[in-house]
Structures are given as structure tokens and as C-alpha cells.
A = this chain, B = another copy of it.
Amino acid sequence: MKQPTILDVAERAGVSKSLVSLVMREPERVSDASREAVLQAAAELGYRPNAVARSLVRRRTGVIGVVLSDLHNPFFADVADGIEEAAFERGYRAMLSSGFLNPKRERGAVETMLELRVDGLIMLGSMMKVPKIERVASSLPVALLGRHTRSKDLDSVGVDDSAGAQEAVEHLVSLGHSEIVHIHAGSAAGSPRRRSGYEKAMRRHGLEPRLVKGAFTESGGAKAMQEILDSGNLPTAVFAPNDFAALGAMEVIDAAGLDIPGDISLVGYDNLALAGLPRISLTTIGQPRADLGREAVHLVLERLDGDRKSARHVVVPPNLVVRNTSGPPRS
């Protein structure tokens, strides 16, 4: 059970510990004979370098911490894939931890990461307050993802939500819609920008914005949609704040016996995998998820390696994905 150390290997190979260390790190700088001896001894003993000791002396762990607010959100899973991928390519490892949609637990997760001395931190859909995150950023590079900030200390990468919302509206308008309601998610991360994009595009076409408050959840979307139906003033299209909310709205519309898109068009946001299921087939706004993750890694490593000091805020454009929930308005 006890793991062999570099000293055990050195002894068995008849060389010094320094040489073993060198073989592990830069084998080409060691003579063939020594290298073979060390490698063989290591294999025989089942030696595995102790990353803990290495991190201690190097003062680098080679680990990028990722705190994601919710493991179940497939959006984060895609982003995390991009992160792991990019980190791996650059010789780093990613270590994930969940915040369980709870700011307190998220804080705990961050604290743990700091104690473990991760080299950089990526926060996915964080629920913590910006000043708190800024304090964290004073001891290591931090990149915020899926949330906008103008902070001078924090890097961020996000999608241009306003542009995405405008695309959604443009799409509906081009189909002939003029009564387009937007369900918004209050001040939840991302919602204000989507809302302002919606309003901007509506006004550009001389249309009257109509807002209903919902949330980024299925039930939030359902509640809002019910409110719309109950108002007696049925719009020809609904633009939801995300796919989950759209799903909730879809259920309510179905239950009311209305047809999508015959009676009402529906557009979501996020392009979750489930939006592509044939029975759902939701028109929505897609985001280059894995790219977001890669970009975040990039930002962190940029600070780590080249020590850039000023914050960078990367914004990538979204794209419209047309499916079967949007069509011409009912006549």
C-alpha cells in the first residue's frame, strides 16, 4: 500500500535521487544507460511521481479549478468539456467542483480550491457577488464565464446576449410577427442583456415591447406563459429567456390546446441538446459552448504565463438555430 518514492527508485537503480527526478522531467538530458536503469527500476517498483510534493516545491500545481454552479445544466457540461480539453492541451489539468446553486456552498468550493492552490480559477455561472470574486482574483487569475462584468480585476468570457436576443426578434419579424412577448428572468445572470436586446430590436421595427416576468426554469416559463394566456391578449410569438423556460411555456401552450407554431411561435435561448429532440424541436439561440470554455482557459493561462495585468472581456457572437417552433403568425 505504501507508495515508493523517488529515493526508492534511486537506490534500486544505483543513482542519486536528483538523477531520477531528471529522468522523470527531461529524459533526453540523461545518458542512455542511466535512463534505462532508472526507467526499469521505476517500472519494477510501480513508482508514480508524487504531485503533491512536486507542487510544493514548484509552487505550481498545474491544476485549473472550475467551480460550476450546477452540474445538471448541460450548458455547463459542454463548457467544462471545452475547458478540460484546452487545459489538457496546455499541460494543465482541470478540477471540477459544484456550487449546488447555492452561493454559500459555492464560496466553500472556491475556498477549497484556493487551499489546494490551484493555479487559476474559472467560474461557471457563478452566484457569488462580484466584489467577493474580485477579492479572490487578487491571489490568482480568475475568469468569469456565463456572466458579464466590467470589472477591472476579473477576466470574463461571454456570449453577446443582446445580439442573440436581437437575432431572435429579427427572425420572428422576418416571419411576419409583430406581437412578440418576451418572458424575462428578472435580474438573473444574462437576462437583463437578453431583455435589452429584445427591446432594442422591437423598437427598431417600431414594435411595442411586451414583457412578462418568468425565470430561467421550466416552472418559471410555465407560470409566465399561463399569465400570458390568462391575459386574454394572445401574442403571435413568445421569446423565452432560455430553453428551460421555453419548455415550460411549451407545456402550457400544449395543455391549452394551442398549436406551435400554428397558433403561436416560440423561441428559446441556449440550444440545449434537448431542444434538438424531434418532439421538442425548439427554435433557439445557440452558443459556441466548448469555445467559451477554451477561451476561459486561454485567459487564465495568459495571466499565468505572460502576466497580463489588465482585465480582458471576451465576447463571442451567438447564432440562431431555426427549428419547428417558429413559423408565420396565425392569420
Q: Which residues of A contact B (CB under 8 A)?
A: 1, 3, 46, 48-53, 55-56, 61, 63, 71-72, 74, 77-78, 80-81, 84, 93-98, 100, 111-112, 114-117, 138-139, 247, 250-251, 254-255, 273-274, 277-280
Shortest distance between the CB of A253 and any CB in chain B (Å): 11
A100 in complex: contacting residue of B61, B81, B93, CB < 8 Å:
B81
State whether B94 touches A51 (Cβ < 8 A): no
Most chain B C-beta atoms within 10 Å of own C-beta, residue among A61, A247, A273, A278: A278
- Rounded to whole Å, the gap between the CB of A122 and the closest CB of chain B is 14
Task: For A61, list chain B residues within 8 Å (CB).
Answer: 52
Residues of B within 8 A of A273 (CB): 72
Chain B residues lying within 8 Å of A250, measured Cβ to Cβ, are 279
On whether A115 and B80 interact (CB within 8 A), knowing A97-B94, A279-B250, the answer reads no
Residue numbers in B under 8 Å from A1 (CB-CB)? 138-139
- Shortest distance between the CB of A25 and any CB in chain B (Å): 13
Given known A-B contacts A3-B139, A117-B51, A277 and B247 have beta carbons under 8 A apart:
yes
What is the chain B residue whose CB lies nearest that of A63? B116
Contact B115 A48 (CB under 8 A): yes
Query: In the docked arrangement, what's the CA distance between A1 and B1, Å?
Result: 38
CA distance A139 to B94 in the complex (A): 23
